[in-house]
Amino acid sequence: MNDAMPKWADIVLIPLINLALALFVSGLVVALIGKNPFEALYILVNGSVGSAYGWGYTLFYATNFIFTGLSVAVAFHARLFNIGGEGQAALGGLGVALVALSIDWPHWALALPAAVIGGMIFGALWAAVPAYLQVRRGSHIVITTIMFNYIAAALMVYLLANVLKVPGSASPETARFIEGARLPNAADILPWVGFSRSTPLNVSFLVAVLACIGVYFLIWRTRLGYEIRAFGHSEPAALYAGISPVRITMLAMLISGGLSGLMAINAVMGEAERLVLDPVQGAGFVGIAVALMGRSHPLGVFIAALLFGALYQGGAELTFEMNGMTREMILVIQALVILFTGALDNMVRSPVERMFLSRRRQPEAPLPTTPLQPGGHPDDAKIEP
């Protein structure tokens, strides 16, 4: 029972302390390589959320992480560890690109739903094989999804270098999508906010928000979600209730793969406007961290994705603005954030919990004592009949 602490402490105070610790240690690393940590912190924060420009990038990265984070989260609810987000998102990119390139789209509003479907189907198909093998052959989904990441990478290189590339071009990338298959970006939609023309943030962010809401509904409101969670909590109980493990594993992985595939809406259709080699850029792996830190809840995923988006953008500013700051520094900061907010959570939680507990115990009145003589040995103390 987790009533040791008020809720606000659980969801606000503790994460903030953790984040502060992570930044503190990051500051030590920055200082260690001879840079000013305060300046770095300022650039990091200001660069990511200090301007419309920064937000444009922060939210763009966050969009990717929301999709991959949700993907991992949905699988987690069924107690499946899908580390195939990289490959599923790459295949999603293929699906999106095929949709975008296949028809002379008159308007993005038509192209987007089609691309959503294309991305989801391709991502889901790439997850389907590992899911099926898990269900039918007991092949461990962790291995198979790792393998499918590599296979996806090979497939993408083959297709882009040989099949989809613009003839005569040396670039392993598809042609740029036509106007009707390009998504409007933040500057198009919200010109008055001050987003720059080039901001990569685009309507896919809204799709991501919808996906969060959708996943929330799926998991906590639908019958399927009810069954997925039940299966994830206890397989014997699921069997007892007549929930088919085969069906749940397949469906959860298909949805998970579909969500990863959706990432391509943002990265391929929204930003690059063409399919390039490796459009995923590690977002599949970041999704694992995002899902774990967000406790597999869509809102948590959203917040964690935002945090990682801000770190990505702030980190870019850091390398841009601070001489001699390598881009790997940002990996270190990310790692520390994951470590402190995710894995070392109890380091802060336990003492805080104890603090709250001791404050709460004091006013409690003792239980009324029984009229019986407590304890001792019968020779010494007789009880009332």
Site for another protein in 130-149 (CB under 8 A): 133, 137-140, 142-144, 146-148
Residue 102 beta carbon to another protein: minimum distance, rounded to whole angstroms: 20
| DSSP three-state, residue 100 | helix
The overall longest dimension of the chain from CA atoms, in Å, is 102
Contact 92, 123 (CB under 8 A): yes
CB of 42 or CB of 356, closer to another protein: 356
Among 209, 226, 303, 352, binds another protein (CB under 8 A): 226
The size of the interface with another protein (CB under 8 A), counted in residues, is 120
Asked if 244 interacts with another protein (CB under 8 A), we say yes
Tokens of 41: 């912190």
Residue 378 beta carbon to another protein: minimum distance, rounded to whole angstroms: 5
Among 7, 8, 104, 168, binds another protein (CB under 8 A): 168
Asked if 36 interacts with another protein (CB under 8 A), we say no
CB of 8 or CB of 368, closer to another protein: 368
Nearest C-alpha neighbor of 118 from the set 98, 148, 132, 143: 98
Residue 104 beta carbon to another protein: minimum distance, rounded to whole angstroms: 20
Asked if 251 interacts with another protein (CB under 8 A), we say no
Positions 97 through 126 that interact with another protein (CB under 8 A): none
CB of 106 or CB of 376, closer to another protein: 376
| DSSP three-state, residue 185 | strand
CB of 8 or CB of 34, closer to another protein: 34
Among 19, 125, 316, 352, binds another protein (CB under 8 A): 316
Among 36, 51, 102, 222, binds another protein (CB under 8 A): 222
CB of 36 or CB of 171, closer to another protein: 171
In the 3-class helix/strand/coil scheme, how is 116-131 assigned residue by residue? Answer: HHHHHHHHHHHHHHHH
Which stretch, 101-109, 119-127, 254-262, 346-354, contacts another protein (CB under 8 A)? 346-354
Find the distance separating the first CA and the last CA of the chain, reported in whole Å.
38
Which stretch, 115-123, 186-194, 228-236, 248-256, contacts another protein (CB under 8 A)? 228-236
Cα angle 316-317-318, degrees, rounded to a multiple of 5:
90
Residue 75 beta carbon to another protein: minimum distance, rounded to whole angstroms: 13
Positions 169 through 208 that interact with another protein (CB under 8 A): 169-173, 176, 196-198, 200
Contact 269, 207 (CB under 8 A): no
Residue 114 beta carbon to another protein: minimum distance, rounded to whole angstroms: 22
Among 38, 81, 106, 210, binds another protein (CB under 8 A): 81
Residue 224 beta carbon to another protein: minimum distance, rounded to whole angstroms: 8
Contact 86, 149 (CB under 8 A): yes
Residue 167 beta carbon to another protein: minimum distance, rounded to whole angstroms: 8
| DSSP three-state, residue 170 | coil
Asked if 378 interacts with another protein (CB under 8 A), we say yes
Residues 269 and 202: their CA atoms lie apart, in Å, by 9
Residues 336 and 339: their CA atoms lie apart, in Å, by 5
Contact 251, 82 (CB under 8 A): no
Residues 65 and 85: their CA atoms lie apart, in Å, by 11
Residue 133 beta carbon to another protein: minimum distance, rounded to whole angstroms: 5
Residues 379 and 366: their CA atoms lie apart, in Å, by 28
CB of 29 or CB of 303, closer to another protein: 29
Residues 286 and 265: their CA atoms lie apart, in Å, by 17
Asked if 383 interacts with another protein (CB under 8 A), we say yes
Residues 181 and 108: their CA atoms lie apart, in Å, by 5
Asked if 4 interacts with another protein (CB under 8 A), we say yes
Tell me the angle at which helices 52-77 and 85-102 cross, rounded to the nearest 10 degrees. Answer: 120
Asked if 39 interacts with another protein (CB under 8 A), we say no
Tokens of 69: 């984070």
